[in-house]
Structure 1
């Protein structure tokens, strides 16, 4: 059986430089994401969602537990090669056009530009080819987010880590993003995404993991979440889970 694409075991991260008496932002997080699975990480502001992603990417050290990427320790740079990450506050370089930025990202990963794949993905995300001739400083918030999503998906990585990927997208763009991400999941990519848009998560994610008070208080399908907490929809179930 292949290893989990992402595995978090007893992950602890404290504030104040990890002092033993400091409050734990993450207090024993356990979570697995399998290849081909889309998992939505939900939680209130300050629950530790972004901190968990930062720990995964080795942007900050753990105070306990371990994280593995396809069976390898997350602290090894080579372990992160199959991973693509889109931060919540995505800001492309101001001196590049959108098209130059996409080529730059692919070059950083040692990939050659594939015009056919780029054209198909840009069409799926409804990213105007004419806009790619402009620098992103001229873009709207939604257009900038589409550029970040395009750069992430064009890399065709086996693992996608997305922090609030639908932020700034209008309803049409959200639907197009869900379609694009579902295709990646169906092709075998593992996806871990944070989201405050629980309706999107209910439509897209195979499983929902609710992070609250430093721990995963529920992990399962959206339907199972609603059944477990008696909610008429995922939002109501989420509120019951963290009550």
Structure 2
């Protein structure tokens, strides 16, 4: 037998998918919805949390719950999001010192000088994803870090996980919505790590594509 939470979520889901509740519409207040369904406010919030995790409802602090406008899914491939016709990026640059994972990734002593690029990618007017890119201070320039030439190898590690509190807040996504967490490390022809990046791509709007190129000698490369 479905729980009250699931029954409420199913009813609201139907109203959203059938267009009775349209994209951008504000839902009634949580106390009003709780009274309407004759449940406690915590039970009602649990039902809304399910819809938030599915990407159907967005909770905006101080304003309420809204039916989310559908996101066009983008594909992450070759270090970029595509299609990119309506994408734009804002960048904030900060000088930092290597600590924790950065010491390990760059293979440098603690407190080595690095430059951090905080990159927020927008799809139209909506924030799509965020990334933190790090380069050695002596290599930092005003150009976009990923436009760097002379790279010999790039390795990417992909994991699905729940967002950090910062990611949930910045991207305005539910804490229960999985993100694709990508750690990207690039080296130059001398083997020096010249870039390390940490990307958070919400799972409800991103696909990841990896292509294997087979050579005639039977070896394979991935891109």
**Using CA pairs below 8 Å that are at least 6 residues apart, which structure has the higher relative contact order?**
1
Instruction: Tell whether the structures are fold-level matches, with TM greater than 0.5.
Output: no
Greater Rg over alpha carbons, structure = 2
Of Structure 1 and Structure 2, the greater helix share is in: 1
Of Structure 1 and Structure 2, the greater strand share is in: 2
Please, what TM-score do these two structures have when normalized by structure 1? 0.21
Please, what TM-score do these two structures have when normalized by structure 2? 0.22
